[in-house]
Amino acid sequence: MKFLHSVAVFIFGSAIGSFLNVLIYRMPRGLSIITPRSFCPHCKKSLKWYENIPILSFIGLGGKCNKCKRPISIQYPLVELLTALLLLWSFTKYSFRIDFFFIAIFFFILIVISGIDFTHQVIPDILSIPGIFIGLVYQFLNNNFLMGLIGALFGGGLIFLIRILGGWAYKKEVMGMGDVYLVTLIGAFAGFPMIIPAIFIAALFGSIIGMIYLSITHKSKDNPIPFGPFLSIGGASVVILHNQIIQFLRNFGIYF
Ligand SMILES: [Zn+2]
């Protein structure tokens, strides 16, 4: 029975991932998220139901549009798979407790923000700001409101400070307000002090992958690398690896 539930949650998660792909594509372009039905981004042909099955259609069509034969971005099946796996993880961890719904929403918001920041270098406030309030409601229901609020203020405040100081030092924007709101959101969900390792993981991943990216592409350092996906990795990591991170820090004598 547990297995059938898990299969159902995975399939449902991949369908939500399909919708998150729609949001990632349409929100930054100012398109309606309801109509029209899904279409090929190249030739605009609307997709038949069997061309729109999460994960499977991409494999079945060999990663190409059925009509114009131009490649479909790998982003589509990846977002569907990632959403399905994260929903399955939430279900395995929380079953149908209230945490399941809130943590699932947290993951969904992070996926959409990462996708939009990755493709358009912008983080929509319309996702991050309501997300902050959803995070604080979650902490309130868990009798952890104060730690959620401190996590939000600490995280957002720290990135805001980096934005101000970086702006003075480099005479250009080092952190957007989108990043400030995103870290506030992560702080609300992760709470204090887990927002600290979340930012640390984001900075670590961001600098390693940023250096690899710059050395492969030979692009200049002025070319901004979106930080949202790395912040999202940090935020999701401290939720998923909560106990392991606490244990890891204890080995270094750091007690949370
Ligand atoms: Zn096409």
Tokens of residue 233, six digits: 């990795």
Tell me how far the alpha carbon of residue 69 lies from the centroid of ligand 1, in angstroms: 6
Q: Determine the Cα angle at 81 with ends 77 and 86, to 5°.
A: 150
Q: Where are the domains of the chain?
A: 1-95, 97-256
Q: 213 alpha carbon to ligand 1 midpoint, in Å?
A: 30
Do you find a cis peptide bond into 193, omega within 30 degrees of 0?
Answer: yes
| pLDDT per position as a tens digit, 26-35 | 999 999 988 8
Distance 41 CA to ligand 1 centre (A): 7
Rounded distance from Cα 48 to ligand 1 centre (Å)? 12
Written in H, E and C, the secondary structure of 154-219 is HHHHHHHHHHHHHHHHHCCCCCCHHHHHHHHHHHHHHCCCCHHHHHHHHHHHHHHHHHHHHHHHCC
Instruction: Give, as residue ranges, everything with CB less than 5 Å from ion ligand 1.
Output: 40, 42-43, 65, 67-68
Task: Write the CA distances from 193 to 39, 95, 187, 199, integer angstroms.
Answer: 44, 25, 9, 11
pLDDT band at 222 (very low <50, low <70, confident <90, very high): low
Distance 44 CA to ligand 1 centre (A): 6
pLDDT value of residue 1: 67
pLDDT tens digit sequence for 197-211: 999 999 999 999 988
Distance between Cα 127 and ligand 1 center (Å): 29
